[in-house]
Structure 1
Amino acid sequence: MPFAVYILGLSIFAQGTSELMLSGLLTDMAADLGVSIPRAGLLISAFALGMLVGAPVLAVVTLRWSRRTALLAFLGVFIAAHVVAALTPGYWVLFGTRVVGAFVYAGFWAVAATTALSLVPDNVRGKAMSIVAGGLTVATIVGLPAGTMIGQHLGWRAAFWAVAVLSALAMAGVAGKIPGGRPAEVPDLRRELRTMINPRLWLSYSTTALCTGALLVTFAYLGALLARTTGIAESWIPLVLTVYGVGALIGITVGGRTADAHPFRVLTIGATGLILFSAILALTATLPVPVVILVFLLGAFGFAMNPALNTRVFALAGNAPTLATAVNFSSFNVGITVGPWLGGLAIDGGLGSPSVAWIGAVLGVAALATIVWAAALHRRAQPSGTVVPAERTMAELHA
């Protein structure tokens, strides 16, 4: 595996820590900025908004740039946004830096995914994506608690400085290890847009959004479920979240090793696991031991699908992958946004914390339906009587 792929994973870890760490800093931030905790929570929504829009917009704007130039530009703006955030005394300036930081982070994700997949042979694309996306998983396990700890002992601004420094180290790695120069074939915007007409691509985007929503609707309210329904002591909740992160890391590693050869199998098993374990969690939410085991399994099966969700879009996009990959990243963020929103509606409606797991199961059923549909379309597209791999190779796609 090229070292550059690991550099991209480190970069996602640095930026992903910023995405996640606010959940442990909101109380201190609200007090320091003189705003309510719900208003401070809007800083998380600001980040989600920036990510949702940033990937496709920046993918188009930087289409003719070299990938190294684009990645360095994104990291430079991200670092600057965090320096401003650490220095500002005002809420709205901080709000703006969250939008800007997320905007370029989304662009980095889109270009990093395309870059990683272009650096490796076809048969290890899933493994490459598991390393890149694994940066966010490690941010869940290490970055989130570390950012919270720094904030508790040195103030929330110190956490922003730490992210800026870590991102600067990642920037040095990108400058040294990501190939420079223009691509051998300069991307064509019209060709990229024509690729987006493919209905199978949009079916894949639906799978991405539904799978992500099915997982995140439960994860977003997991702390509340553990405290209010399961009755786990508050001091133990971070440990249970770490169990989720360990499951996610194992899942994305296994998924990365199998997604290239068996993408539909990985997606089917992952979605089935989400449905089954979400339903069992809803039924056993008051029992600590089953809940902890189920949290681990949800992380493992949910994240196992991540490499297949990415590599399948890359294969369907053929020789115009940049915009298609960017829109897939936005699809992840649709799931990240809509899943917790649905869970919030259920809780506000008096259905209780376990209801979010039932919503996860329903979204999982919808995701599984899109996977079965996509697999049927794939089989129908193959010549009769032939045995074919799960996806065409890149050489076939460029032919």
Structure 2
Amino acid sequence: MERSLAALLVCVFGVTTGEFVLAGILPAVAGDLEVSIPAAGLLVTAYALGMIVGGPLLTAITAGRPRKPLVVGLLAVAVAGNLLSAVAPGYGVLFAARVVTALVTSTFFANAIVIATSAAPAGKQASTVAKLVFGMNLAMILGAPLGTWIGEAFGWRATFGAITACCAVGLLLVARLVPGDQPVTRSRAFGEFTVFRNQDLVLAIAITAVANIGLLMVFTYLAPLLTGPGAFAAAAVAPMLLVYGVGATIGNLIGGRLADRALLPSQLGALAVLVVLLVALWASPHPVVTGLLVFAAGAVGFSVIPGMQTRVLTTAAAAPTLAIAVNASAYQVAAAFAGWLGGRVIAGPGMTSIYLAAALATVLGIGLSAVALRRDRVRVKQSVLR
């Protein structure tokens, strides 16, 4: 199992780096292809929309397919998409390449989670998810900065070339190390959408979409928050992003273990602590305190991710892959909404108010999590009475 998990982790790292790295090389892409920065920024929007729309649809279409060949095929598309990005002769081809790559990302990630958790020991599903999410953390704190450095040193096309190589290595590792006898549920295309009649599943996905808005809003505008009200120098932004990423990595691994023991109670506790941290950031009197709070917010905010993924898995036994893909889309919707809402807050109350708006959004996530916990406890009580 460990070798299989390691192979999937390499793939998650490569694919996710391809998503994150564009922010670091955006000016170079815009300059080389002779388009404006806003036009280049649409490449990020296109990737997000590709995941939001394409993930659930492609997952539904491929429902019931053997998982290993499917994952290998999805990775082959990711390799081709990143390679096309590296050699794209113009903006239109690059735009299309990013969309194609995005279309397979959610479906790959969903199948990778199902493969990993299906082989995990009982009661270890959340910590197994955390190990896969660790690949995303590495992409944030290592892959994106390294890809940006490659772009600065050798050109942005070299960045996509390196991502292509990483995804290709991951594909070969999956082909060699992941067992081919993964269980699948035979079903018709789009037939699995009936799983969303399950109110617990819908609630679990809603929690992902709502509870993450606050932290995503702060992360989206972290640079101006630090250099503006935070009084940090511009040169300190990159190290602070690293601090945030290290916190997220540690929190993710710890959160997986906590969710294995008590999923919803640990999620409620973490979200409550996050609210306190966000308010503390709003009132922070000193850059050193702000730095410590950024680390803590990254750790606590990411500690809930493994539990959220596991909750979706456990409430969607009939169609876990589709549910995870839709959950990934919900996270992307949260990211898009967080960017929009943060912009409205800046235009209205002002930059510092983002922390308070983020805290309020997180409170809504606490409310939904409390509803889910209450439903579980009522169900347990009813089963005991029977």
Same topology, TM > 0.5: yes
Match of 2:273 in 1: 273
Of the structure 1 ranges 366-375 and 201-210, higher mean CA displacement relative to structure 2 is found in 201-210
Give the SS at the match of 1:229.
coil
Instruction: Give the CA deviation at 1:287.
Output: 2.8
1:239-254 equivalences in 2 (<5 Å): 239-254=239-254
Match of 1:305 in 2: 304
Q: Is the 8 A contact 1:65 1:182 kept in 2?
A: no
Instruction: Give the CA deviation at 1:92.
Output: 1.7
Q: Is the 8 A contact 1:281 1:354 kept in 2?
A: no
AA at the equivalent of 1:219: F
Match of 1:293 in 2: 292
Give the SS at the match of 1:15.
helix
Match of 1:222 in 2: 222
Of the structure 1 ranges 354-363 and 190-199, higher mean CA displacement relative to structure 2 is found in 190-199
Give the SS at the match of 1:230.
coil
Match of 2:41 in 1: 41
- Paired residue total: 385
Match of 2:325 in 1: 326
Instruction: Give the CA deviation at 1:54.
Output: 2.3
AA at the equivalent of 1:21: V
Cα deviation, 1:350-369, whole Å, max 9, x if unaligned, reads: 43322222221111000000
The whole-number CA distance in structure 2 between the counterparts of 1:52 and 1:104 is 11
The whole-number CA distance in structure 2 between the counterparts of 1:182 and 1:223 is 43
AA at the equivalent of 1:267: Q
The whole-number CA distance in structure 2 between the counterparts of 1:44 and 1:102 is 10
The whole-number CA distance in structure 2 between the counterparts of 1:260 and 1:192 is 27
AA at the equivalent of 1:153: A
- Residue 184 to residue 342, structure 1, CA distance change in 2 (3 Å): closer
- 4+ residue segments displaced more than 4 Å: 187-191, 384-387
The whole-number CA distance in structure 2 between the counterparts of 1:265 and 1:3 is 32
**Structure 1 gaps, min length 5:** 388-399
- Residue 128 to residue 165, structure 1, CA distance change in 2 (3 Å): same
* Equivalent of 1:374 in 364, 372, 375: 372
The whole-number CA distance in structure 2 between the counterparts of 1:138 and 1:228 is 28
- Residue 287 to residue 108, structure 1, CA distance change in 2 (3 Å): same
Q: Is the 8 A contact 2:212 2:362 kept in 1?
A: no
Instruction: Give the CA deviation at 1:190.
Output: 7.2
The whole-number CA distance in structure 2 between the counterparts of 1:161 and 1:64 is 33
Cα deviation, 1:171-203, whole Å, max 9, x if unaligned, reads: 011101222256365345576333210111111
The whole-number CA distance in structure 1 between the counterparts of 2:96 and 2:350 is 34
AA at the equivalent of 2:311: R
Q: TM-score, normalised by structure 1?
A: 0.92
Match of 1:204 in 2: 204
AA at the equivalent of 2:44: I
AA at the equivalent of 2:357: I
The whole-number CA distance in structure 2 between the counterparts of 1:330 and 1:89 is 30
Instruction: Give the CA deviation at 1:385.
Output: 8.5
Give the SS at the match of 1:25.
helix
Match of 1:343 in 2: 342
The whole-number CA distance in structure 2 between the counterparts of 1:87 and 1:315 is 42
Match of 2:357 in 1: 359
Q: Is the 8 A contact 2:64 2:185 kept in 1?
A: no
The whole-number CA distance in structure 1 between the counterparts of 2:98 and 2:190 is 32
Match of 1:390 in 2: none
Q: What RMSD over aligned residues (CA atoms) do the two structures have, in Å? A: 1.7
Percent of matched pairs sharing the same residue: 36
The whole-number CA distance in structure 2 between the counterparts of 1:120 and 1:181 is 15
1:1-399 equivalences in 2 (<5 Å): 2-181=2-181, 183=183, 185-187=185-187, 192-284=192-284, 287-347=286-346, 349-384=347-382, 386=384
Give the SS at the match of 1:259.
helix
**Structure 2 gaps, min length 5:** none
Cα deviation, 1:103-162, whole Å, max 9, x if unaligned, reads: 111111111111111111231101110011111011111001101100111011100000
The whole-number CA distance in structure 1 between the counterparts of 2:69 and 2:293 is 43
The whole-number CA distance in structure 2 between the counterparts of 1:35 and 1:189 is 40
The whole-number CA distance in structure 1 between the counterparts of 2:363 and 2:265 is 16
AA at the equivalent of 1:363: A
Instruction: Give the CA deviation at 1:386.
Output: 4.8
Instruction: Give the CA deviation at 1:283.
Output: 2.2
The whole-number CA distance in structure 1 between the counterparts of 2:182 and 2:317 is 19
The whole-number CA distance in structure 1 between the counterparts of 2:221 and 2:67 is 37
Q: Is the 8 A contact 1:266 1:304 kept in 2?
A: no
Q: Is the 8 A contact 2:60 2:190 kept in 1?
A: no
Q: Is the 8 A contact 1:11 1:167 kept in 2?
A: yes
Q: Is the 8 A contact 2:243 2:294 kept in 1?
A: yes
Of the structure 1 ranges 377-386 and 310-319, higher mean CA displacement relative to structure 2 is found in 377-386
Of the structure 1 ranges 7-16 and 175-184, higher mean CA displacement relative to structure 2 is found in 175-184
Of the structure 1 ranges 288-297 and 364-373, higher mean CA displacement relative to structure 2 is found in 288-297
